[in-house]
């Protein structure tokens, strides 16, 4: 029960990694505030509440700074505090070589994947500065550390998340605010279903992957909880690459 008495804010917890994180935080005692555009986030809240913990869905589009500020305010209003944040909401545009990327796709992924993390960190840090600090984890990707073909907008967005993470980490360390990121490899979630349902993709990716498979969301969230916990009190500005060895080549 590492998070007993604490409140965690999670963006993008309707499905996938965010839902698994929400359930894991709640299982360790946290009250969980969820910001998401997808109404299925209410199912995540139901699962938590049925398990005996506290949770609230605050409908939020993370690309809208006003909505994100309202999300943080509502979280504090409901639960009385904000100790940790997992800024995880994101989208993955269709694969295309750079010269064929639709401008609207580029702008949308930057608005959600980068803008969402920027707005969230601003609002969270403003609160944490006045309340003794906190811990923030952002969701980057292996695409924030290396490039993959056909994903230029997403690669740019996730490299920006890495940059924002490092920048915030050095600015707020003395305010007792730690900021880290996770960089998952391929995880089996709704985001990647179209790839994992494609036998040719599976065969090629699994053959190239040292571990030979995709991760389940539950294999990712242990690191998120660790980074938010007191056991990680000296870990700041780090990018935890969780990829089964993909980038060790």
Residues near ligand NAD (CB under 6 A), total: 30
Mask: binding to ligand NAD, 104-133, rule CB under 6 A, as x and -? Answer: --------x---------------------
The verdict on 189 binding ligand NAD (CB under 6 A) reads: yes
Residue 131 phi, psi (nearest 5): -135, 30
Catalytic one among 86, 154, 172, 205? 154
Stretch that binds ligand NAD, among 125-133, 168-176, 182-190, 225-233 (CB under 6 A): 182-190
Neighbours of 151 (CB within 10 A): 22
The residue from 90, 93, 134, 244 that contacts ligand NAD (CB under 6 A) is 90
Spatial distance between the Cα atoms of 230 and 114, rounded to a whole number of angstroms:
27
| Consecutive H or E run containing 203 | helix 199-208
- Residues 52, 23, 29, CA angle at the centre, nearest 5°? 50
Helix, coil or strand: residue 229: coil
Q: Which lies closer to ligand NAD via its Cβ, residue 40 or residue 131? A: 40
172 part of the active site: no
Spatial distance between the Cα atoms of 45 and 56, rounded to a whole number of angstroms:
6
> Smallest distance from the beta carbon of 99 to ligand NAD, in angstroms?
23
Neighbours of 215 (CB within 10 A): 18
Helix, coil or strand: residue 83: coil
The residue from 33, 109, 181, 184 that contacts ligand NAD (CB under 6 A) is 184
Q: Which lies closer to ligand NAD via its Cβ, residue 18 or residue 134? A: 18
* Interface residues toward ligand NAD, by CB under 6 A: 11-18, 36-38, 60-63, 88-92, 112, 139, 141, 184, 186-187, 189-192
Tell me the catalytic residues: 154
């Amino acid at each position: 029960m590492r998070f007993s008495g604490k409140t965690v804010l999670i963006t993008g917890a309707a499905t996938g990694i965010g839902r698994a994180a929400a359930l894991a935080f709640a299982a360790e005692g946290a009250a969980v505030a969820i910001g998401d555009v997808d109404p299925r986030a209410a199912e995540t809240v139901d699962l938590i509440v049925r398990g005996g913990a506290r949770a609230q869905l605050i409908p939020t589009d993370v690309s809208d700074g006003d909505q994100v500020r309202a999300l943080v305010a509502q979280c504090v209003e409901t639960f009385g505090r904000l100790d940790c944040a997992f800024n995880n909401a994101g989208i993955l545009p269709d694969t295309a070589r750079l010269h064929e990327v639709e401008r609207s796709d580029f702008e949308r992924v930057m608005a959600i994947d980068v803008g969402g993390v920027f707005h969230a960190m601003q609002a969270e840090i403003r609160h944490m500065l006045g309340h003794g600090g906190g811990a923030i984890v952002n969701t980057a990707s292996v695409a924030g550390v290396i490039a993959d073909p056909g994903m230029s907008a997403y690669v740019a967005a996730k490299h920006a998340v890495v940059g924002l993470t490092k920048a915030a980490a050095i600015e707020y360390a003395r305010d007792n605010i730690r900021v880290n990121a996770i960089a998952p490899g391929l995880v089996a979630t709704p985001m990647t279903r179209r790839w994992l349902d494609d036998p040719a993709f599976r065969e090629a990716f699994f053959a190239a992957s040292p571990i030979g498979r995709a991760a389940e969301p539950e294999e990712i969230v242990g690191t998120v909880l660790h980074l938010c916990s007191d056991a990680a009190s000296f870990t700041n500005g780090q990018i935890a690459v969780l990829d089964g060895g993909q980038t060790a080549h």
